[in-house]
Amino acid sequence: MFGLSEEELDVYREIAQDFAVAELTPMIVEEAKLISIWTEQNGKLLPVPSYVNKMVSDLEQIITLTTVNMACDYAGLVSELKLTEAEIIQHLHEKYEYFVTRQFIKYNLCFSVESADRIVSEIILELPYLYVDSVTNEEFDGDKYLEEKLQAYNDYLENNPVFAEEDEEE
């Protein structure tokens, strides 16, 4: 399925989930400007820990769901070989930016348009690596695969406002 064996697909899903939970969610949470509801106790404003924990848990679930679904879509599109890498990137970005926005609404999380764009953009950049890491076929040359995809991702980085803003900040 998706150009991957059943075992490779299981590994692919697992590493996609690991990326979402261990790398992307902490980065998004760290960048969040406001992630709490405050309560007043003894004249001091304090965050409500249960609300913060629920928000982070919901965000992690959204990111994990998005990453795994997008990774499966990516593998399917790559195995069909009917689209260029740039077309795959554009298709996935448009589809999943809308998907993430819907998930934020579904989970009643406050968000900005930039946050949905940021999540999708970060996942897209990771997709070829996740794919290569899951393929165990000895005939598959992962380095060559990544090299063939490099220009499309460089173009994506250059033309994506999410990463342009990052460069300006540094």
Q: Using one digit for the tens of pLDDT, what is the confidence trace for 68-120? A: 999 989 988 888 778 899 999 999 999 999 999 999 899 888 777 788 899 99
What is the predicted pLDDT for the residue at 45?
A: 77
Closest CA to 67 of 31, 109, 27: 27
Query: What does the block give as tokens for 165?
Result: 């803003």
Rounded average pLDDT over 57-70 = 92
Provide the 10 A C-beta neighbour count for residue 69: 16
Could you tell me which residues are beta bridge partners of residue 41?
44
Provide the 10 A C-beta neighbour count for residue 110: 10
Average pLDDT of the chain?
Answer: 84
What is the predicted pLDDT for the residue at 170?
A: 46
What is the predicted pLDDT for the residue at 103?
A: 93
Higher pLDDT, 4 or 61: 61
Q: pLDDT band at 9, cuts 50/70/90?
A: confident
DSSP letter, residue 155: H
What is the predicted pLDDT for the residue at 30?
A: 78
Q: What pTM did the predictor assign?
A: 0.81
State how far the Cα of 76 lies from the Cα of 4, in Å rounded to an integer: 9
By DSSP bridging, strand 38-41 and strand 44-47 are antiparallel
Does 79 map to a domain?
A: yes
148-168 CB burial, b ≥16 within 10 A, e <16: ebeebbeebbeebeebeeeee
Closest CA to 65 of 122, 111, 17: 17
Does 92 map to a domain?
A: yes
State how far the Cα of 146 lies from the Cα of 31, in Å rounded to an integer: 29
**pLDDT(137) > 90:** no
- Mean pLDDT is lowest, of 27-31, 33-37, 46-50, 52-56, for 33-37
User: 């934020």: which residue's tokens?
Assistant: 104
State how far the Cα of 18 lies from the Cα of 100, in Å rounded to an integer: 18
Does 170 map to a domain?
A: no
Does 84 map to a domain?
A: yes
Does 164 map to a domain?
A: no
Does 166 map to a domain?
A: no
Q: Range of 94's domain?
A: 6-38+46-158
Does 89 map to a domain?
A: yes
What is the predicted pLDDT for the residue at 51?
A: 79
Provide the 10 A C-beta neighbour count for residue 143: 8
Domain count, the chain: 1
Rounded average pLDDT over 44-64 = 84
State how far the Cα of 51 lies from the Cα of 77, in Å rounded to an integer: 39
